[in-house]
Amino acid sequence: MKAVVVGAGVFGASSARALALRDWDVTLVEQYTPGTVRSASGGDTRLLRAAHGNVDWYAELAMRAREQWIALQEETGVHIFEPVGVAWFAQRANGFEAMSRTALERLGIPHEWLKPDDARSLFPSLSTDDLEAVLYEPDAGVLHARRATQLLVEDAERRGATLEIGHPTPRDAPEADIVVWACGAWLPALFPEQVELTLSRRDVFFFGADGAWRGTPGFCDYDAMFYGHGEIAGLGVKVAPDFAGASLDPDTLDRIPLESRAADARDYAAKRFPSLADAPIVGGRVCQYTLTGDTHFLVAPHPENPGWWIVGGGSGHGFKHGPALGDYVADCVEGKREPESFHALGERTGDAGLRTASVG
């Protein structure tokens, strides 16, 4: 059976690899190059965490993916996962972190609920005045995203898949038993009738810190709408504002970070991590979220073309799930299971709040 997967971001690369592992004849088609910085998967780093409020489906998917990322790292000898943990700064006793804590308890996923004073030792400096608690996930960490995406593609090729550079569209569609359209931010333009997604700009900053920041945990400040991690691979300390951003064209955007967002990152860094108050910004990236209305992903058969699947809507939290999501897509494609109803096409109401920020 022949499958063509269009798009070599983490969703497409993982789907192609999962199908190749099941002995499908797989072609993976990418318009630029796997891990292009125009893609959401082409960022330097992405957090891997299990906490997803009260939505167990993603917590379990993340933990399955974690095992698979580590296995891929061990099989290939390419370092892609930093097991540094992730700390959630809880400004409320009954917010997203408390909901996540209950879910992690229920699912048996390791976590600690720390008093603010006890969390201070996690970072070289941490201001906890406004915190009720810190939810710490010791098994969480940070993925080297661009490299991990490329590694998935390389591994898919080792398993027999073929990578082609090309730009198929629904009007000029590949011939195959199955076509998986995993086209990230390009999906709404390719499928204007079927796919409703909001593209939203995000600016990410790296601060030059001293060596004490090496190996410190990732962090999420859900109510303040910031996230990041400590010094990793010489990139610096990541501090990323997670406020709603303007829409954009992923092909033509000049990816130069905004000074206003840099100022937001500086203010936050100084407040939350006082020793970073005078740290210079040593790097920046601009990327796009591809948001569904409720932050659940999109994994659905095309309503008119049998054999076509639409996979995307990563909604700012898709990366970590890559390999496990690939298995889920392959199971759906092979008819071994139905896709979840919350991944269907069509209008989405409500907001499951699955990103690392409360709104936006």
Ligand X SMILES: Cc1cc2nc3c(=O)[nH]c(=O)nc-3n(C[C@H](O)[C@H](O)[C@H](O)COP(=O)(O)OP(=O)(O)OC[C@H]3O[C@@H](n4cnc5c(N)ncnc54)[C@H](O)[C@@H]3O)c2cc1C
Binding site for ligand X (CB under 6 A): 6-12, 29-32, 36, 39-41, 43, 46-47, 167-169, 182-186, 202, 204, 287-289, 312, 314, 316-320
Please report how close the Cβ of residue 8 comes to ligand X at its closest, in angstroms: 5
Q: How far is CA 7 from CA 24, 39, 302, in A?
A: 17, 9, 16
Q: Which amino acid is at 245?
A: G
* Residue in the block written with tokens 């004490």: 212
Shortest reach from residue 290's CB to ligand X, in Å:
7
Q: Are 216 and 124 in contact (CB under 8 A)?
A: yes
Pair of tokens at residue 58: 């993603």
Based on CB atoms, which residue is closest to ligand X, 32 or 243? 32
The residue (of 230 and 318) whose beta carbon lies closer to ligand X is: 318
Q: Is 288 left (phi over 0), alpha (psi -120 to 50) or beta?
A: beta
- Closer Cβ to ligand X, 67 or 210, answer by number: 67
Q: Which is nearer to ligand X, 215 or 274 (CB)?
A: 215
- Residue 93 Cβ, how far from ligand X at the closest point, in Å? 25
Burial class of residue 246, CB neighbours in 10 A (0-12, 13-18, 19+) = exposed
> Which of 120, 145, 142 minimizes the C-alpha distance to 47?
142
Distances (CA, A) of 117 to 65, 129, 268: 32, 9, 20
As measured in angstroms, the least distance from the Cβ of 54 to ligand X is: 18
List the structure tokens of 8: 């070599």
Query: Measured from the CB atom, is 10 or 209 closer to ligand X?
Result: 10
Q: How far is the CB of 11 from ligand X (least distance, A)?
A: 3
The least distance separating ligand X from the CB of residue 162, rounded to whole angstroms, comes to: 14
Nearer to ligand X, 233 or 277 (CB): 233
